[in-house]
Amino acid sequence: MVYEMPVKVYQERNAVANHAGELAALGRKACIVTGRHSSRQNGSLEDVLSALKAEGREWEVFDGIEENPSVETVVKAAQAGIRAQADFVIGIGGGSPLDAAKAVALLMASRQEWEADGLEAALCYLYAKKPCPCLPVAAVPTTAGTGSEVTPYAVLTLHREHTKRSISHRIFPEIALVDERYLEGMDRDILVNTAVDALAHLIESYLNTNAASYADMFCERGLYLFGQAKEGLAAQVPPPGQYGRQLEISTLAGMAISHTGTSLPHGMSYSLTYEKGVPHGRAVGFFQKAYIDAYEGAARKERLLELMGFADVEALGAYIEGLTGRIAISREELERYTKKMMGDARKLANFPYPMTEEKMRGMFEKSLEIR
Ligand SMILES: [Fe+2]
């Protein structure tokens, strides 16, 4: 077994202000990577700028990160950071800006490797299987889903391949400043979709080829806390403390998948997100029940249900469906998505049993309406 969790995580109110000195210690000038609106609305960007100002640091803001960020956008952000001569990167937002920040830090550290040859060279560099230098990254999450602030993954959209894929390099942030204040007032849809993503990380990590004690300890605590938080999440108005609990769950879930990776539902979800714009959390949620059904280890499944307080897999499936609803795809899409998933060797490897095209098609059919 390997244990690797090098991120220093502070989860507390006013985390950015409280740890401004540690943030500033990462460099002289920050390249801030964020989305267009939410970090301005929830106060996180302002907190980071105030902290940098108080510590006498400079910054450059790149606020053009879209949902499911593309390689093209990441290259633009890296070029902006290079022009500004920034020497560290701060990602602020949901999974998209945080993942983008890691890829930006990687590209900024080695401009000579790709800049002259443009997008194609950057793409090769991001997906190269060799160790590469990287600028320090800080992460300020504003959703409770991906756990990207504690994972080494950076999932980018590859338009050429009509899908999403994590870059080949493992890049952990140096520091994660986790503050529930940024979640207060978020849309319920975003709260629910991101929470389902965190749940999916726990389930896919617990029922995984790489599952072992070091990851299990994060999964078991996360599943237990999810069980405690599940009614509050399903309520129309989240009860007091719900956002902090969801952040604790998503951070634990991130620590879990850092050790195991995600499995089939994540791979199966990418076509729905790429082709139909289904939010990531909702898309992975559709496939959880079929995944648990396909997993053959009875004792582990029983423990999972017990930790979460569900009587059986049906009850867990009904709970998730209550949050995600269902969607329909066509026969043609079913065939295409099945074939694509059978080509995703990394996700298939994290499911501990042999998989056939027929079984995979069956999992899609169980999870979605087929028109
Ligand atoms: Fe995810």
Domain ranges across the chain: 8-181, 187-370
What is the pLDDT at residue 118? 84
pLDDT of 348 above 90:
yes
Asked if residue 69 lies in contact with residue 157, where contact means CB atoms within 8 angstroms, the answer is yes
Q: DSSP 3-state assignment of 11?
A: strand
List the beta bridge partners of residue 58: 29
CATH of domain 8-181: 3.40.50.1970
Query: pLDDT confidence of 131, banded at 50, 70, 90?
Result: confident
What is the pLDDT at residue 162? 86
Instruction: Tell me the C-alpha to C-alpha distance, in Å, between residue 16 and each of 37, 71, 296.
Output: 19, 29, 44
Q: Residue 280 Cα, ligand 1 centroid: separation in angstroms?
A: 7
pTM: 0.96
Percent of the chain with pLDDT over 70: 100
Is the CA virtual torsion 195, 221, 138, 259 positive or negative?
negative
pLDDT digits (tens, 9 = 90+) for 292-337: 999 999 999 999 999 999 999 999 999 999 999 999 999 999 999 9
What is the pLDDT at residue 106? 97
Q: Residue 282 Cα, ligand 1 centroid: separation in angstroms?
A: 10
Q: Residue 69 Cα, ligand 1 centroid: separation in angstroms?
A: 14
Provide the 8-state DSSP code for 235. Answer: S
Q: Residue 92 Cα, ligand 1 centroid: separation in angstroms?
A: 17
pLDDT of 271 above 90:
yes
Give mean pLDDT, residues 224-241. 96
Residue 116's CB is within 10 A of a number of other CB atoms, namely 8
What is the pLDDT at residue 163? 87
Query: Residue 327 phi/psi, 5° resolution?
Result: -135, 165
What is the pLDDT at residue 160? 87
CATH of 187-370, one of 3.40.50.300, 1.20.1090.10, 3.40.630.10, 3.50.50.60: 1.20.1090.10
